[in-house]
Structure 1
Amino acid sequence: MLPKIRLISLNMNYCTGNTDWIFINSTDPLCQLQLASFIYLFFLILVAFSRNKILIYVRLTIDPMASICEEHQEKVYTIGHYSSRMCMVSFSWAYYSIVNRYQNTITGQFFAHTHFDELTLSYNETDSKQSVGFIQTLLQNNGLITSIELNVPESIIFNEEVIDEFITKEIQQGFPGAALIISRYGKILKQTVYGYKLKYDENAKIIQQPQLLILDTMFDLASLTKMYATNYALMHLVEQGMLNIDDPVKKHIPQYCGCNPDKECREARLIKDLLTHTAGYAPSVKFYDPEKVSSDLFSQDKHETEDIIETKLGFQRSRSGDQLPVYSDIDYMLLGLVVEHISGMSIDQYVKINIYQPLCLTHTLFNPLNNTNYQKSNFAATELNGNTRNHTINFPNVRTHVLQGEVHDEKSFYSMNGLSGHAGLFSNLNDMSILTQIMLNNGTYGNVKFWSKNVQDLFLKPYAYDPTYGLGWRLNRNKSLSWFGLYASDEAYGHTGWTGICTVIDPQYSMAITLLTNKRHTPYINGSFDGEKYETGKYGKIMTLIYESMLLHKDPSRKLRASAMSD
């Protein structure tokens, strides 16, 4: 090989059990590839005792040589072939988790297989960062590549430094922390963290050793729970024929009946009324605070709260065919209960079994501190004084400590035991990139189908009286939502979360963006969190910079927003 260049050859068929070929039929006739026999034999011994055989294989293959090359400032290229589709999800996760540790050393990855009509080339123009970027599809003839184009920089232009500079400057000015992942055409283009997961103590003082964010740090997704747990569950149920959006809610929750004094009746409410936030519920009800609700609505018990929502809670507005949406957490608390009644499972178990486990997601779950695999240091912190807003709010059992790994939302934590359709989900960058990719794939991932394109199109259809609403999803149809930024296409959709979370999915550019921040992990002064004043926590400026960094704002095929973005 050339000086300072090393190759690592990977057996990507391990999960089928067929590993002998790479040992017997060497891919390294000149002994220049660095897959040592003793590593392979050691691997065979260990896998018998391993719960994660694929991860151990990748570690034993890549870790030793990459570590040596890093020490000697050499560059590494990995080569392999596409395994069977049954292997790819597990192998991709294991491969990425290791390769990402050597961002300055592994600068190129090449994969090919004669069984597929494509070749994936992961390429980075610079040595400073490892970005899994561009997919180059090539024609093949009888297993031989007839042409290849390596003109990657001209194919995807991405000036990520402008994004890094902007967020880093705001971190230096006081914004606590942010994590950003961008994918295009099914590959991760950028995955970067900035700042701290824990910076302040409960006295709003900067701690002696602030804890830096890392790529695996998990965030409280707040209202993104509505999309990536409840909506995904509902779309899956519609695909299975177990739910119709025109169903009365009462069909699935028999006790959901009765009327207000003004004759607004539960029996008239449909599933789609909840999804479009037109059922007539108040934006929020403070079940947990006896000073804010009547005695019959007070509850800090999940089962009592469920009964209140299903049989006692009245409507604030009437329901009619031209009702404009009023965003309400209650709608999604009730939709979470619909999932539970239909499936016979709690909302967390339903999405775990039917969505997250098939995707091999290990960092997406409810009540994560109940899982022995996690501790507080795995999470980005939120409010400094529990739910007290600098000790200006008080109610029974209120938390006063720095929240880290506990759902912030009061209704979810106090009244629903952390298991609710509107809030309670935690996740990290890698898992979110997979969850958003499902939407770009029209309901599939790898060889797993969760719902059809028809079902997805149904949930993304603009609501007639407010086109910024789909079924749960927020849409960029009239450019009124500033968090989409200036240049997201009319096809873009997504959602935000109160803790500082935003996802934008843009099919026109085959792009998904997840921005996770902990903007609430800042002092609460004069009625607001200090983190709210920064543009990173408003999302729109970052989204604008992302599109500009790829020159997508100059795309003549899209319509630019006529007016300036408002705050």
Structure 2
Amino acid sequence: MRKLFLGLLLTIFVGCTSNPDVEPKKVGKIAAIDSLIQKEIKEDHIPGAVIQIRKGDSILHRAAYGYAQKYDYGMQKVDNPEPMTTEYLFDVASLTKVMGTTFGIMKLLDEDALSLDDPIRNYLPEFEKGEKSQITIRHLLTHSSGLAQWVPTYYHAEDKEERYRYIANLPLKWEVGEGRHYSDLGFMLLGDIIENISGQKLDYFLEDNLYQPLNLRNTMFNPMGKGYKKIAATSHGNPFEKQMVYDDEFGYNVDVDPKSWDSWREYTLWGEVNDGNAWYANGGVAGHAGLFSTVDDLQVLVDLLMNKGYKEREQFISESIVDTFLTKDQYGNGLGWAMGKSFIAAEGSPDGTFGHTGFTGTNILIVPQDSLSIIFLTNRQNVGRQEGGSYFDLGPLRQAVFNHVWKNEN
């Protein structure tokens, strides 16, 4: 009992809100994880964070750190910043791909509304000609369609219909199936396919068929107009994307006249998706980005995968479909999910480990062999960019957190 008391004092000392039921043997590990995260906050690399570590039915650690917003537009420090809590919604960025769109495709597959090897031309007629006619749903899920990785579609489109037509007419960058080239455009099209099959907008389909049945009350697109107050702030406009467009030496070589469009946001983003393609060209709802959620809601979706499609005694997705999506493909990844250990910052993890990251500073890591999951959410963009234009690299911190968890659980 004395050890537990001393451990709780240590947790309080490092300045976070954490799980009060931590077993004594876990105290050292948790103190180390807290110290790692607090160090990055102190060095102004991230303003705040939420973490949850779960093994089986037990939460090993649950904590919130720092602030939901530290800086306002112009990098002015906020007076009396709001402390981060586990209740805050985060712009999960590309976690939308797996916690939204991939689940949507899984549900439609479970209903026999589509097949993974269906050509996408079956649902998107503009793709029926040329090499694009070979693209299948599986190609989109595995990022092997040959589509460009990223283009500023908002330079060519004011809404999702124009955005869709622009992508449909865009030449492929690689041959279909040539290799894995991570593509936001492919997941935009998966969102379009869900809408065309279901007859519903993507956000309504996911709400009706996944989030509401699972009783997720804090997972949604465009939370700003829905009365939510506890939302972590992200970037100050879209300076990273603007540099992607204006600076060819930044590594993106976008073929547009940078000055032909000039509707960049000039304020701190709060409740608006950071991703420019999702916001400017898709109204905040897209297959690749736009979802907001909390650690608790994300945990429900993670557990659904860990439990082979079951929540408690009810099966929401067939076990065989879950297995199919979490089986390594020829590129070493799952369908939607990434399994490359360097990409997901899980070096040293066993085979079958999978996860995904989000550009805003979010990530999920799941180790099925050990019934272990780590959900780590930050709002790194709010402290601004590093020298050179990039945001703080969370990869080493994510790997260090995993190392502490894995070493102490095995």
Do 1:218 and 1:363's aligned partners in 2 also have CA atoms closer than 8 Å?
Answer: yes
Given candidates 359, 362, 367, the residue that maps to 1:501 is 362
SS at match of 1:338: helix
Q: Aligned pair 1:472/2:329, yes or no?
A: no
Given candidates 73, 87, 91, the residue that maps to 1:202 is 73
- 1:170 — aligned with what? 40
Do 1:505 and 1:513's aligned partners in 2 also have CA atoms closer than 8 Å?
Answer: yes
Q: Aligned pair 1:284/2:284, yes or no?
A: no
Letter in structure 2 aligned against 1:416: N
Given candidates 352, 359, 375, the residue that maps to 2:214 is 359
Following the alignment from structure 1 to structure 2, what is the Cα–Cα distance between the partners of residues 346 and 204?
A: 36
Q: CA deviation at 1:391?
A: 7.8
Do 1:131 and 1:191's aligned partners in 2 also have CA atoms closer than 8 Å?
Answer: no
- 1:481 — aligned with what? 343
Q: Return the structure number with greater helix share.
A: 2
Any gaps of 5 or more consecutive residues in structure 1? 1-74, 76-102, 105-127, 134-151, 260-264, 290-297, 553-567
How far does the alpha carbon of each residue in 1:425-470 deviate from its partner, in whole angstroms, 9 at most, with x for none?
Answer: 0001111111111110011112332212211111122122x21x21
Following the alignment from structure 2 to structure 1, what is the Cα–Cα distance between the partners of residues 287 and 316?
A: 19
SS at match of 2:392: helix
Given candidates 146, 161, 185, the residue that maps to 2:56 is 185
- 1:541 — aligned with what? 400
Following the alignment from structure 2 to structure 1, what is the Cα–Cα distance between the partners of residues 79 and 170?
A: 47
Q: Aligned pair 1:423/2:289, yes or no?
A: yes
Given candidates 197, 218, 221, the residue that maps to 1:342 is 197
Q: CA deviation at 1:283?
A: 0.5
- 1:442 — aligned with what? 308
Do 1:520 and 1:532's aligned partners in 2 also have CA atoms closer than 8 Å?
Answer: no
Letter in structure 2 aligned against 1:472: G
Following the alignment from structure 2 to structure 1, what is the Cα–Cα distance between the partners of residues 324 and 129?
A: 30
Q: CA deviation at 1:188?
A: 2.3
Following the alignment from structure 1 to structure 2, what is the Cα–Cα distance between the partners of residues 499 and 530?
A: 9
Q: Percent of pairs identical after alignment?
A: 32
Distance 1:339 1:534, change over 3 A: closer
Following the alignment from structure 1 to structure 2, what is the Cα–Cα distance between the partners of residues 169 and 416?
A: 37
Following the alignment from structure 1 to structure 2, what is the Cα–Cα distance between the partners of residues 390 and 201?
A: 19
Q: CA deviation at 1:389?
A: 4.3
Following the alignment from structure 1 to structure 2, what is the Cα–Cα distance between the partners of residues 329 and 534?
A: 20
Matches within 5 A, 1:70-469: 130-131=19-20, 159-174=29-44, 175-259=46-130, 265-289=131-155, 298-309=156-167, 311-320=168-177, 323-371=178-226, 373-375=227-229, 378-384=230-236, 386-389=237-240, 395-464=261-330, 466-467=331-332, 469=333
- 2:381 — aligned with what? 520
Letter in structure 2 aligned against 1:383: S
Q: CA deviation at 1:190?
A: 1.6
Letter in structure 1 aligned against 2:85: I
Q: CA deviation at 1:336?
A: 0.7
Following the alignment from structure 2 to structure 1, what is the Cα–Cα distance between the partners of residues 278 and 241?
A: 20
How far does the alpha carbon of each residue in 1:50-107 deviate from its partner, in whole angstroms, 9 at most, with x for none?
Answer: xxxxxxxxxxxxxxxxxxxxxxxxx9xxxxxxxxxxxxxxxxxxxxxxxxxxx99xxx
Do 2:18 and 2:63's aligned partners in 1 also have CA atoms closer than 8 Å?
Answer: no
Do 2:147 and 2:172's aligned partners in 1 also have CA atoms closer than 8 Å?
Answer: yes
SS at match of 2:299: helix
How far does the alpha carbon of each residue in 1:341-375 deviate from its partner, in whole angstroms, 9 at most, with x for none?
Answer: 1111111111111111111111100011121x213
Do 1:178 and 1:194's aligned partners in 2 also have CA atoms closer than 8 Å?
Answer: yes
Following the alignment from structure 1 to structure 2, what is the Cα–Cα distance between the partners of residues 186 and 160?
A: 18
Any gaps of 5 or more consecutive residues in structure 2? 10-16, 247-258
Q: CA deviation at 1:415?
A: 0.6
How far does the alpha carbon of each residue in 1:132-181 deviate from its partner, in whole angstroms, 9 at most, with x for none?
Answer: 67xxxxxxxxxxxxxxxxxx767x78731111122112211213111101
Following the alignment from structure 1 to structure 2, what is the Cα–Cα distance between the partners of residues 131 and 488?
A: 28
Do 1:222 and 1:497's aligned partners in 2 also have CA atoms closer than 8 Å?
Answer: yes
TM-score if structure 2 supplies the norm length?
Answer: 0.87
Following the alignment from structure 1 to structure 2, what is the Cα–Cα distance between the partners of residues 204 and 164?
A: 26
Q: Report the count of equivalent residues.
A: 381
SS at match of 1:212: coil
How far does the alpha carbon of each residue in 1:273-293 deviate from its partner, in whole angstroms, 9 at most, with x for none?
Answer: 11111110010111113xxxx
Do 1:170 and 1:534's aligned partners in 2 also have CA atoms closer than 8 Å?
Answer: no
Distance 1:244 1:131, change over 3 A: farther
SS at match of 1:228: helix
Q: CA deviation at 1:266?
A: 2.2
Do 1:176 and 1:531's aligned partners in 2 also have CA atoms closer than 8 Å?
Answer: no
Following the alignment from structure 1 to structure 2, what is the Cα–Cα distance between the partners of residues 544 and 427?
A: 26
SS at match of 2:126: coil
How far does the alpha carbon of each residue in 1:410-432 deviate from its partner, in whole angstroms, 9 at most, with x for none?
Answer: 10000111111000000011111
SS at match of 2:283: coil
How far does the alpha carbon of each residue in 1:277-320 deviate from its partner, in whole angstroms, 9 at most, with x for none?
Answer: 1110010111113xxxxxxxx012122112323x3222111124
Following the alignment from structure 1 to structure 2, what is the Cα–Cα distance between the partners of residues 528 and 199?
A: 19
SS at match of 2:268: coil
Letter in structure 2 aligned against 1:487: G
Q: Aligned pair 1:490/2:361, yes or no?
A: no
Q: CA deviation at 1:256?
A: 2.7
Following the alignment from structure 1 to structure 2, what is the Cα–Cα distance between the partners of residues 414 and 381?
A: 18
SS at match of 2:232: coil
Following the alignment from structure 2 to structure 1, what is the Cα–Cα distance between the partners of residues 28 and 304?
A: 23
Query: If you compute each CA radius of gyration, which structure gives the higher value, 1 or 2?
Result: 1
Letter in structure 2 aligned against 1:186: D
Q: CA RMSD in A?
A: 2.4
TM-score if structure 1 supplies the norm length?
Answer: 0.63
Do 1:336 and 1:347's aligned partners in 2 also have CA atoms closer than 8 Å?
Answer: yes
Following the alignment from structure 1 to structure 2, what is the Cα–Cα distance between the partners of residues 227 and 197?
A: 24
Do 1:502 and 1:514's aligned partners in 2 also have CA atoms closer than 8 Å?
Answer: yes
SS at match of 2:65: strand
